Amino acid sequence: MFKQYFPIFKNQEDLVYLDSAATTLKPAVLLQSLEGYYENYTANVHRGLYPNAEKVTEEFDQARTVVANLINANSNEIVFTHNATDALNTIALALDSQQLQGRKVLISESEHHSNLVVWQEFAKRNKLELCIVEYAENWEQDLLDQIDDSVALLGLSLMSNVTGLRPQSLDKIMKKASGSKVITVLDACQSIVHQQDDVKALNCDFLVFSAHKLYGPTGLGILYIKSNLMQLLNPVRFGGGMVEDVQRSQSSYLEGPMKFEAGTPNIAAVLAFAKVLEFLREISFEKIYIYELELAKYLHQQLSQLSGFKVLGGLQSVRTLYALDFDMVHSHDLAYGLGMKNICVRAGQHCTNPLHASLDSRASLRVSLGMYNTCEDIDKFVLELKKVLNFFKK
C-alpha cells in the first residue's frame, strides 16, 4: 500500500524487510531533502547572515516545531542529539549535578541496554541503588508497588523491542510516579513509529526516541525535556553553538534546548526528518496505524498456525513485533537462511540480555512490521521459514 514511497524497492524488487524495529527504510522525501540541502543551500546553522545560512536557520528552527508537534510538546522543550542513546546519556549527565530526592533508580527488566547501562552507571556515580523489576506475569504491579518517595528516577520503555508490548498500567504508573515526585524517563524508540504519545498527557519529565526508527535519517535523536527541568538543568557539553558570551575566565550559556546542543548539529538530518514527519502527517498517522494493525492481525494469524517455538511475551495479543525462539534451530541459522532469500529479520538478544535470560531464551528471531510491508511479505516469510526449519531439522 505504501511501498511506492520507498525507493529501495525499485532497486530490490524481491526485498522482504521485516526488521523495522532495528531501523526503518527511508522514503523518497528523505533522500530528496538530504540531496537538496547538500546540493542547493549548504550552510551552517545559527551562524551566517547570507541568504543560504538564513534559509538553513529558518528551516532548522521550524523543524524543532514540527518535531514538538509530533508529541504535543513546545518547541523549546526539544533537544536534538546524536541518537536516543546519546539523549539518555545527556539526561543522566545533566542530573548528576542535581540533589535528587530518593535513593533508588527503578527500571524494568525488559529495558533496552541503552535504558539500562546508562542508569547502572548513573546509580554508581551518585551512590544510588539500582532496582530492576523482574519481567513476570505481574511485573507492572510489582513496578507500581515499588514506586514511592524512596525512588529518585524511573526509566521505562513505552514498547518493548522484544515482546512488542506496551505497559497496560502506564497511566497508573505515571500518576503514582508524579505523586511521589519521581523523575520519569520514557523510552519511545519502538512506540513512536506506531503510536505518538502526548507528553503533556503522560506528564513525563523526559522522553527520547530516534529519528531512524520513524522513517527518518540515522544520527539524530530527539530528547524532550519538560520546560521546568529545561530551565533548571545545566549543559553537559561545552563549546561553540551553546555559548552566549565567552571571556578569558568564564563563559555564559544560552537558555533552552540550544544549551545542550554544543557544536555543529546534524543539520541535514534535522531538516530531512522534519520533511519526513510532514510527509507522514499528510498520509495520516492514523491511516498508517490502522493499516499496520491489520498487517499485525494477519501476522498473528499466520504465526498461530506454526509450532515448535515460543513467543517471548506470549502469542495472546496482536502486535507489530514478535520475537520467536525455536526449539530445534538457533535463530542465527534461521536468520541467515531467510537472508539468502532476501528476507530481512533480526536474530540475537536485541540488546536485552537480562530479559532473554529471564525468559530462558538464548536468542530469538525477531520479525517487525513497517508501513511498507504487505500480507505477501508475511506469506513469503512464513513459507521460507518453514523451508529453513525443515532444512536444519534433517
Mean pLDDT for the stretch of residues 26-31: 98
Q: What is the pLDDT of residue 100?
A: 87
Taking residues 108-123, report their average pLDDT: 97
361 shares a domain with 265: no
Q: pLDDT-based confidence at 102, cuts 50/70/90?
A: confident
Mean pLDDT to the nearest integer, 170-188: 97
pLDDT reading at 328 higher than 90: no
The answer to whether residues 111 and 80 belong to one domain is yes
The pLDDT score that the predictor gives to residue 221 is 98
The predicted pLDDT at position 115 comes to 97
- CATH number of residue 46's parent domain: 3.40.640.10
Residue 35 lies in a domain: no
Residue 223: φ, ψ to 5°? -120, 115
Dist. CA 222–CA 85, nearest whole Å: 10
Q: How far is CA 110 from the centre of its chain?
A: 14
The pLDDT, as a whole number, for residue 346 is 97
Pair 203, 303 in one domain = no
Average pLDDT over residues 104-128: 97
Average pLDDT, the chain: 96
Domain boundary among 282, 313, 330: 282
How many domains are contained in the chain?
2
pLDDT at site 47: 86
Q: What is the pLDDT of residues 196-208, one digit of tens each?
A: 999 999 999 999 9
Lookup: cell for 161:
523491542
CATH classification at residue 387: 3.90.1150.10
Pairing label, strands 206-210, 221-225 = antiparallel
The reported pLDDT for the residue numbered 199 is 97
282, 313, 337 - which closes a domain: 282
341 has a pLDDT exceeding 80: yes
Q: Give residue 137's pLDDT.
A: 87
Residue 32 placed within a domain:
no
pLDDT (tens digit, 9 = 90+) per residue, 234-287?
999 999 999 999 999 999 999 999 999 999 999 999 999 999 999 999 999 999
Give the predicted TM-score (pTM) of the model.
0.96
Q: Which of 257, 282, 307 is the last residue of a domain?
A: 282
* High-pLDDT (> 70) share of the chain, %: 100
Q: Which residues contact 41 (CB under 8 A, 6 or more apart)?
A: 52, 55, 56
| Strand duo 129-133 + 104-108: pairing | parallel
3-state secondary structure labels for all residues of the chain: CCHHHCCHHHHCCCCEECECCCCCCCCHHHHHHHHHHHHHCCCCCCCCCCHHHHHHHHHHHHHHHHHHHHCCCCHHHEEEECCHHHHHHHHHHHHCCCCCCCCEEEEECCCCCHHHHHHHHHHHHCCCEEEEECCCCCHHHHHHHHCCCCEEEEEEECCCCCCCCCCCCHHHHHHHHHHCCCEEEEECCCCCCCCCCCHHHHCCCEEEEEHHHHCCCCCCEEEEECHHHHHHCCCCCCCCCCEEEECCCCEEECCHHHHHCCCCCCHHHHHHHHHHHHHHHHHCHHHHHHHHHHHHHHHHHHHHCCCCEEECCCCCCCCCEEEEEECCCCHHHHHHHHHCCCEECEEECCCCHHHHHHCCCCCEEEEECCCCCCHHHHHHHHHHHHHHHHHHHC
Please check whether residues 252 and 110 belong to one and the same domain: yes
Residues in the chain: 394
* Structural domain harbouring 360: 3-24+284-393
In the residue annotation, 351 being an active-site residue is answered as yes
**Are 304 and 231 in a shared domain?**
no
Give 71 or 47, the one with higher predicted confidence. Answer: 71
Candidates 131, 204, 351, 375; catalytic one: 351
Residue 393, pLDDT > 80, answer no
Q: With cut-offs at 50, 70 and 90, classify the pLDDT of residue 371.
A: very high
* 297 bridge partner residues: none
The pLDDT score that the predictor gives to residue 109 is 96
The whole-angstrom separation of Cα 31 and Cα 125 is 42
Residue 318, pLDDT > 70, answer yes
pLDDT band for position 224 (cuts 50, 70, 90): very high
Residues 251 and 314 in one domain: no
Q: Say what the pLDDT of residue 394 is.
A: 66
30 part of a folded domain: no
Using an 8 Å Cβ cutoff, are 323 and 350 in contact?
yes
- Is the pLDDT at 330 greater than 80? The verdict is yes
Q: What are phi and psi of 209, to 5 degrees?
A: -160, 165
Distance CA 380, CA 360 (A): 29
In whole angstroms, give the CA distance from residue 18 to residue 343: 7
